[in-house]
Chains A and B, each alone.
Chain A
């Protein structure tokens, strides 16, 4: 039911990686998760083991098809991905046009999935301001902004807070949250910025993710971080974030299937 959008005012913050691993974490704890890629880069599918050559996706036919779910790929028992797919320029422009001008375009396309009880839909948005983000303003139940622990991201915070990036949600129920990525406590600037974010964002900050070489390594292997290296700091951080997300969304432990062993550190 809930539709979560993961956005960022700038590119290169690791949004897609965060989205993919968040999905893995939620799925492991039992929720049903669908990740949808709204970015022409079409990078999300690679995190789930889809080969580069596989260019299936929903956008090419999104205008004519009212139900996008036929392009969903199954990754695991309760984890699914809907890639952007290859598109021509016209298809892309048509998609943007629909996003901007067709009210409920997203909700209709995903309606079959959004109806499934207990299914969490996570949308990976393109960076910056664009048609998809604009359309998502009214559609999402929860917004997660991904930022890096550097001043390039920090300098955009005022814009986000003043709703110049995404307009203010209509309903109070739509929560706006943040994730700070690639925080390196060894580096003064990174540490300063991280701590500044923590003080400034308080409870809105879902968590900070350590800068950890295991992350790109997991990406390169097209697997989840927690599968490659369960004790990695970034894996732990993402797991903590996924728990918070689950609480905010009011998710119970899916249908009872529990897919991972308890971390040696217990639950927080």
Chain B
């Protein structure tokens, strides 16, 4: 006896071997696909939207504009905006939502400095006050960097609007204080 089959035991003891007894999966078995993305996919479902963005095919500029450590420069989204490529275009949306006072478009001059600023900060959650003030528009710059950094390192928020995941949203709001 490797595993005890109590349903079979029931059928045997009641002389109802032909009984069509349906076992209903327990919560944990049924929710396994809900818990683990891989299980969900193998089960034939679409896969759980994870907080990390699903990787997409690169564009011609992706490789050349890469930061040394592989960070996406916070200003990248603006390149995206102007070039209208497929990179998570939702970042600018969030961007708009989070930082109403910030101008949606950065000037070109700000871009090359941002990665270094970011690296210099090290931790995107550092207080905004420690941001290097060398950028021409410090206020906007600071907020932009923080928000962009946040969205790229702590996990991309997948779809803007109603499908925004709550946690990263709240974290983003919190970190701008």
Contact = CB atoms under 8 A, between A and B. Distances in A.
Main secondary structure of the interface of B (DSSP, over half): helix
A266 interface: yes
A188 B39 CA distance: 13
Contacts of B36: 151, 189, 192-193
Main secondary structure of the interface of A (DSSP, over half): helix
A236 B35 contact: no
B38 interface: yes
A196 interface: yes
Contact of A155 (B28, B32, B33, B38): B38
B32 A196 contact: yes
Interface residues of B, number: 14
A196 B28 contact: no
B1 A154 contact: no
Contact of A268 (B2, B38, B41, B42): B2
A157 interface: yes
Contact of B35 (A155, A192, A207): A192
Nearest to B2: A240
Nearest to B33: A196
Contacts of A193: 32, 36, 39
Contacts of A188: 35
Contacts of A61: none
Given A192-B32, A195-B32, A151 B39 contact: yes
14 contacts: A151-B36, A151-B38, A151-B39, A154-B38, A188-B35, A192-B36, A193-B39, A195-B32, A196-B42, A199-B25, A200-B42, A237-B2, A240-B2, A266-B1
Closest 6 CB pairs of A and B: A192-B32, A151-B38, A240-B2, A268-B1, A155-B38, A195-B29
